[in-house]
Every structure is written in structure tokens, then in C-alpha cells.
């Protein structure tokens, strides 16, 4: 009884945050609405009996990445950029195409579940089980992602150094 109600509340919260992100004028308000969405998603993970992923969602997304977003929006933003993005025609067309593609992908992904989307808690996930699948079954993709992040980090250092030399 309580599970569908709390799921509906969390889903509404997540959607509300996402809509606020789209329609608020101030970019900082937008980032803070995204925090609401992230926290609601963490609540949904918790409801699906996966406290590990819920906690990681809060630490990584609602914590670190949102702080990074806030930094970037505060530093990059200038006074004249305060309003919403202008809706000139090419930009609108491009945005529509990208949004339509994303929607198609999502519909296909949801359809692949065949109506069996889990909304009810299963047995709680053990951290050992997650570790075994991450460092056993999925070791190869895991290491590939690590290598990708390392390359990105080295790239950022190189770019930063280049700016230093020219100035």
C-alpha cells in the first residue's frame, strides 16, 4: 500500500525538479532543481531495495557533480546571460531533433521491459554481491571506463598547461 504512494511521490518530485530545471530563468535555480531530481532518484533506488546505489547516487550526483555544476554556472555566467536561451529557429530545430531521438530511445528502452518495470522492493542488495559483479563479471568494461576517465584527466592537464605557456 505504502510503496505505490511513495513511488508516485518520488516520481512526481523527480519530474517536478526536471521541469523546474527547464523553465526556471536563473541557471543556479536550475542546478538546484536538478539536485531535487537526483535526490528523488536516490529515493526510488532505495525503494527498489538498493541502498548502495542510492547512497552512491547521493554522494556522486547530488553531492560532487552538482557542486561542480554550480561552480561552472557561477563562474561562466555573465550578467547578460541571466535570461533563458533565445529560441532562434536553427537552435530550436536542432533541439527538437535531439529531443525526438532521445524520446524514441527512451520509449524503446521502456518497451524492452515489456511492462515488467520493477516498482516493488526485492531482497536488499548486498555490497559484496555488487563488488563481485563489478570486479568479476563487469571487470573489463569497468577498467575501460577507468582508462577513459584517466585519458580525459590527462587531456585536461595538457590543455591547462598549454594555456599556462602562452600567457
Partner 1 sequence: MSELAQNLTLPGALLAGLSPGVAAMLVMFASCAAVLGVVALNGMFLVWWERKISAHIQSRVGPMTTGYWHGWLQSIADGVKLLLKENIIPLMADRWLFMLAPLVVFMSAFMAFVPIPWGEKLIVADLNVGVLYIAAITSLSAIGVIMAGWASNNKWSLYGGMRAAAQIVSYEIPVGLALVPALLASSTLSMQGIVEVQAGGIWNWNIFAGGPFTIVAFGALFLASLAEVNRAPFDLPEAESELVCGFHTEYSGMCFAFFFLAEYSEMFVVAVVASVLYLGGWHDPLGLGILPGPVVLMAKVLLLVFVQMWFRWTFPRLRVDQLMYLAWKVLTPLGFINVFGAAFWLILV
Smaller CB separation from partner 1, 63 or 90? 63
Smaller CB separation from partner 1, 16 or 63? 63
CB of 26 to partner 1, least distance (A): 8
Cell numbers found for residue 148: 577513459
CB of 90 to partner 1, least distance (A): 33
Cell numbers found for residue 147: 582508462
CB of 74 to partner 1, least distance (A): 7
Binding site for partner 1 (CB under 8 A): 2, 28-29, 32, 35, 51-52, 54-56, 58-59, 62-64, 66-68, 70-71, 74, 124, 126-127
CB of 97 to partner 1, least distance (A): 34
Smaller CB separation from partner 1, 84 or 124? 124
Smaller CB separation from partner 1, 77 or 91? 77
Q: CA dihedral in degrees (103, 108, 110, 114; nearest 10)?
A: 150
Amino acid at each position: 500500500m505504502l510503496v505505490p504512494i511513495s513511488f508516485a511521490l518520488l516520481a512526481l518530485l523527480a519530474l517536478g525538479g526536471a521541469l523546474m530545471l527547464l523553465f526556471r530563468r536563473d541557471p543556479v535555480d536550475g542546478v538546484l532543481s536538478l539536485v531535487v531530481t537526483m535526490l528523488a532518484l536516490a529515493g526510488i533506488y532505495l525503494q527498489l531495495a538498493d541502498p548502495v546505489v542510492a547512497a552512491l547516487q547521493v554522494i556522486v550526483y547530488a553531492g560532487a557533480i552538482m557542486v561542480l555544476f554550480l561552480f561552472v554556472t557561477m563562474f561562466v555566467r555573465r550578467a547578460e546571460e541571466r535570461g533563458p536561451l533565445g529560441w532562434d529557429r536553427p537552435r530550436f530545430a536542432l533541439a527538437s531533433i535531439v529531443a525526438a531521438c532521445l524520446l524514441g530511445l527512451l520509449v524503446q528502452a521502456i518497451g524492452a521491459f515489456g511492462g515488467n518495470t520493477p516498482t516493488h522492493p526485492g531482497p536488499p542488495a548486498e555490497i559484496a554481491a555488487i563488488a563481485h559483479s563489478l570486479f568479476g563479471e563487469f571487470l573489463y568494461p569497468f577498467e575501460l571506463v577507468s582508462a577513459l576517465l584517466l585519458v580525459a584527466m590527462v587531456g585536461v592537464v595538457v590543455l591547462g598547461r598549454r594555456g599556462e605557456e602562452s600567457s
